[in-house]
Chain A
Amino acid sequence: MKRLLLALFCFLSFSAFANEPTATTAEATDTEEFNPGEMILHHIGDSHEWHWFSTGNNHFTTYLPVIAFRPGHGLSTFSSRQLAEGKVYDGLKLEHEHLVSEDGSKVYDFSITKNVASLMLSATLLLVVFIAVARGYAKRGTGAPRGIQSFFEPIIIFVRDEVAKKSIGPKYERYMPYLLTVFFFIWFNNLMGLMPGGANLTGNIAVTMTLALLTLLITLFSSNKNYWAHIFATPGVPKALLPIMIPVELIGIVVKPFSLMVRLFANITAGHIVTLSFISLIFIFRNLGVAPVSLAFGLFINMLELLVAILQAYIFTLLTAMYIGGAVEDHHDADYQMGGGDGAEPAHAH
């Protein structure tokens, strides 16, 4: 485990040391007005290289591979170093971190960007951690958990008992792998995003959109007769109102994952923006006296973000479970408090 962590650090610290002979531009930026908005957007956005930090003119950056597909031209792969500082390579250039072709033709960008690299890293981490946990179970059988296993066990049990069982009901077992993966994926990536130099993966709308779409697909594919009956013939609603109700219910199907997408994206991005804003204050006022205040607030927000990291993972998982629960529920059974987490306990929870 220790060796693995070391390897991880080595990978993370593998960075190109680029002493660029662009002193003039650097000096120019130094005297330039500090633009917090641009800085923040740069930090929370994606990019084709992983910039760690800069000291004066030295930029510590890991250049990531660019993979571009152009119809008629084919696939082209090269290091993003070729595109640094606005250079053109193979007819491609970066425009505001966006890969475009010089002639204006369509480019499909499959590059391993900072977020994709972070995604791969988190995927590896998830696999390593949970396969280690599973090995603990294989080794100890029904014995008491130890080590990493005992850290994750209560969380797994929480997701199973408090989220899946209560929201989905008796058919919860089929959806446990997705719920657990989503929960730990979001949590791990939230935490990785909080680390210095980390990518803002869960605060990226593409990622949250993919997760929300997966939830929508699972909900639709596991939906039963009652779910659709509830949409097209809402019980207790007069027939005359159905022309209004059906579109509303149909919109509801889309709004649910949309809210999932926006909630996670906005929460994580907002946290990053607030933290960066407090840090920006130091540069805006150009006064060391502001630093302690900025740091205190920044620290406070960071602590809050640690809470938000797990909270958002929980909320995403809980809402996913509730949407699935609504789709698989046999009929409106008062015993299963569908959508309730605050309501009374089910009379006979299984």
Chain B
Amino acid sequence: MNIVTPEFGLIFWQVVIFGIVLLLLRSFAWKPILSSLKERESSIEGALRMADQAKLEMQELKAGNEKLLAEARLERDRIMKEATAMSNQLLEQAKDKANEEGTRLIAQAREAIQNEKNAALAEVKNTAAQLSIDIAERILRRELTDQPAQQQLVDSYLKEVKLN
């Protein structure tokens, strides 16, 4: 059997069997295998892309957080400053009010003292007058007989009253 002479029978079987194998493998092996590979590759690609996106989003989120934090810090400082100012103001106000109240109280007290004093003076005056009348009555009763001494006594009393 010459090795370089193709055998008709073998060519026939090769065409038939290889054809059958090709058709069977195409539909039962290569198509599902290649489509699965493609699907897997696209899913891996998708997963990688998603991971990248997630990383980007994470970075954005982080940047946002930092921005928020900075804003919060600023806000805190502002509030603190405002609070300090307000407390100072309140303190000042309280001080002013206290001063005012104090002054008012002092004035009131003074007025009351004045009134009391006036009342006391009036009473003293009344008492003095009553006293003088009593004295004068008693003197009058006792010394109606002695004219010069009366006169002298009246004069001395008057003098005393004037001095008062």
Chain A residues with CB under 8 A of B39: 141-142
B13 touches A119 (CB 8 A): yes
A258 to chain B minimum Cβ distance, whole angstroms, is: 13
Chain B residues with CB under 8 A of A249: none
B3 touches A110 (CB 8 A): no
Q: Does A204 contact B (CB under 8 A)?
A: yes
Given A141-B36, A205-B5, verify A120-B25 contact (CB < 8 Å).
no
Distance A46 CA – B33 CA, assembled complex (angstroms): 35
Q: Does A87 contact B (CB under 8 A)?
A: no
A116 touches B1 (CB 8 A): no
A46 touches B7 (CB 8 A): yes
Chain A residues with CB under 8 A of B32: 134, 137-138
CB closest residue in chain B, given A138: B32
Q: Does B85 contact A (CB under 8 A)?
A: no
B3 touches A205 (CB 8 A): yes
B14 touches A119 (CB 8 A): yes
- Where chain A touches its partner, the secondary structure class is helix
Q: Does A206 contact B (CB under 8 A)?
A: yes
Those of A150-208 within 8 Å (CB) of chain B? 153, 156-157, 160, 173, 176-178, 180-181, 185, 204-207
Q: B17 contacts which of A123, A142, A177, A205 (Cβ < 8 Å)?
A: A123
A176 touches B30 (CB 8 A): yes
Given A130-B25, A177-B30, verify A108-B18 contact (CB < 8 Å).
no
CB closest residue in chain B, given A203: B3
CB closest residue in chain B, given A160: B34
B13 touches A108 (CB 8 A): no
Q: Does B73 contact A (CB under 8 A)?
A: no
Chain A positions 250 through 271: 1 when the CB is less than 8 Å from some CB of chain B, otherwise 0:
0000000000000000000100
* Size bin of chain B's contact surface: 20 to 34
CB closest residue in chain B, given A157: B37
Q: How many residues of A contact B (CB 8 A)?
A: 50
For B8, B11, B21, which residue has the most chain A Cβ atoms within 10 angstroms? B21
Distance A68 CA – B33 CA, assembled complex (angstroms): 40
A134 touches B17 (CB 8 A): no
Chain B residues with CB under 8 A of A177: 22, 25-26, 30-31
B3 touches A210 (CB 8 A): no
Q: Does A126 contact B (CB under 8 A)?
A: yes
Given A177-B30, A206-B14, verify A109-B6 contact (CB < 8 Å).
no
Q: What are 22 A-to-B residue pairs whose CB atoms are below 8 Å?
A: A41-B1, A98-B1, A108-B9, A110-B12, A111-B9, A119-B13, A119-B17, A123-B21, A127-B21, A127-B25, A127-B28, A131-B29, A134-B32, A142-B36, A142-B40, A157-B37, A178-B22, A181-B21, A181-B26, A205-B3, A206-B14, A209-B11
Q: Which 9 A-B pairs have the closest CB atoms?
A: A130-B29, A137-B36, A177-B26, A206-B6, A206-B10, A142-B40, A210-B14, A97-B1, A109-B9
